[in-house]
A = this chain, B = another copy of it.
Amino acid sequence: MGSASRKTFLPLDPGTFSNQSKAVIDFIADYYENVEKYPVQSTVEPGYLSAMLPESAPYCPETLEDILEDHCWLSWEMLCSGFNVVGFNWISSPAATELESIVLDWTGKMLKLPSSFLFSGTGGGVLHGSTCEAAVCVLAAARDKALKELGGWKNITKLVVYASDQTHFSFQKAAKLVGIPPSNFRLIETSFSTGFSLSPENLRFAIEDDIKSGLVPLFLCATIGTTPSGAVDSTAELGKVAMEFKLWLHIDAAYAGSGCICPEVRHYLDGVELANSISMNPHKWFLTNMDCCCLWIKEPKLLVDSLSTDPEILRNNASKSKAVVDYKDWQIALSRRFKALKLWVVIRQHGLTNLMYHIRSDIAMAKRFEAVVGEDERFEIVVPRKFALVCFRLKPKVEEEDLNRKLVEAIMQC
């Protein structure tokens, strides 16, 4: 079955896309033809959906017919737009809320995240649009926890955030957005000798320096697969330093996280149990279209403490009971689309088997390309490849930077 699925696996086939999309449209049109038959407010009980769905993602792909038939109220990006669900809290859309929690657990299990990050354990997850939004939210949660412990908002200018010079620039933007002074953002230098990964020793030096200056180390971002070169920071080693100094450790696995569904890649996430939060973007390498960023967090309460609002107009018995997740308190915006639909359909339509096939196929292509480039004496590989990103350049290197810039421009204009 696994190899049969692989043979027919084509992530973007216009014919299939067209047929499936038209089935979805008929489904939406039918919903609106009959919209007056449905109740204004859902009448289900908290947890109704997890009772109906498997605990883990399917291993083998499923057909769209099965997916649509199975659950007469869900599917794909178009359905998300078509139904125009506005799911701030559980009561406004139990399906949108519960499916999101289930899909985050499914994806977390595929990545073998510890149960401390899953709803089925002691944590939980949420879908954001981008890493920067996720970063703003976890930074705000870390900030507010620290300010409470330090005795007030006046300490905000003492808080320090750590990252490497390879960390995605979104974290600097996010830290500034939540009011951390830009002069308190430490971009720790990396080098070729460590494969551009963040050195735990240098991190420790920076932290100790800041403590001596009366500052308060707050937050560390470690990256699995950096944007410039696919470098991997060692969560296991950095996690120890973070624990020692009580830093909030966030793992940005935006791109390479998807690869960790394959057992042979998973070791890059070793040490994840030491982190407070981790994010991964299915819109990068997981066949999901923009925008889709998974954020898992060990203590969702801290996110809610920082971001919750409780206006009269949104009060309801389900929220009061604390038995439900109100995702408005896990993100910046109040309103939210039915975000989980597309990721749910991606997982069901491909199944774990084809998703792994897709990752392995990309890595195999990159390996082959790396070998071809390596054999060509005009080029050199800049850093060893870890995932499906190959960093190469024309020799000679530094002296003629323009030459490589011209090459990039030529490729872009193909």
Chain A interface (Cβ within 8 Å of chain B)?
12, 14-15, 17-18, 21-22, 25-26, 28-30, 32-33, 39-41, 43, 77-78, 81, 84-86, 129-133, 136, 140, 143, 153-154, 156-157, 169-170, 172-174, 176-183, 227-228, 283, 289-291, 306-307, 309, 311-313, 332-337, 342, 411-414
- Interfacial chain B residues near A181, Cβ < 8 Å: 153-154, 156
Contacting A309 at CB < 8 Å: which of B26, B77, B173, B337?
B173
Q: List 9 A-B contacts (CB under 8 A).
A: A14-B33, A22-B22, A25-B25, A40-B413, A84-B289, A84-B290, A133-B332, A173-B332, A173-B334
Taken together as a complex, chains A and B put the C-alpha atoms of A39 and B410 apart, in Å, by 11
Taken together as a complex, chains A and B put the C-alpha atoms of A81 and B307 apart, in Å, by 29
B414, A335: Cβ atoms closer than 8 Å = no
Contacting A157 at CB < 8 Å: which of B153, B174, B307?
B153
Taken together as a complex, chains A and B put the C-alpha atoms of A339 and B269 apart, in Å, by 34
User: Secondary structure of the A side of the interface?
Assistant: helix
Quick one: closest B residue to A333, CB to CB?
B130
A41, B156: Cβ atoms closer than 8 Å = no
In the complex, the 10 A-B pairs of residues with the closest C-beta atoms, listed nearest first: A179-B179, A130-B333, A153-B181, A14-B29, A18-B29, A41-B412, A77-B81, A14-B32, A84-B289, A21-B25
Quick one: closest B residue to A144, CB to CB?
B176
- Interfacial chain B residues near A136, Cβ < 8 Å: 136, 177, 332
Contacting A290 at CB < 8 Å: which of B86, B173, B291?
B86
Taken together as a complex, chains A and B put the C-alpha atoms of A283 and B173 apart, in Å, by 28
Contacts A40-B414, A133-B333, A291-B336 supplied; 6 other A-B pairs, CB < 8 Å: A12-B32, A21-B28, A78-B78, A173-B334, A174-B332, A227-B313
Contacting A413 at CB < 8 Å: which of B39, B129, B132?
B39
Quick one: closest B residue to A312, CB to CB?
B228
B17, A29: Cβ atoms closer than 8 Å = yes
CB distance from A41 to the nearest CB of B (A): 4
- Interfacial chain B residues near A333, Cβ < 8 Å: 129-133, 170, 291
Contacting A22 at CB < 8 Å: which of B25, B131, B335?
B25
- Interfacial chain B residues near A15, Cβ < 8 Å: 29
Taken together as a complex, chains A and B put the C-alpha atoms of A334 and B227 apart, in Å, by 13
B169, A130: Cβ atoms closer than 8 Å = no
- Interfacial chain B residues near A413, Cβ < 8 Å: 39-41, 43
Taken together as a complex, chains A and B put the C-alpha atoms of A169 and B310 apart, in Å, by 8
- Interfacial chain B residues near A337, Cβ < 8 Å: 290-291
Taken together as a complex, chains A and B put the C-alpha atoms of A12 and B21 apart, in Å, by 19
Taken together as a complex, chains A and B put the C-alpha atoms of A284 and B107 apart, in Å, by 33
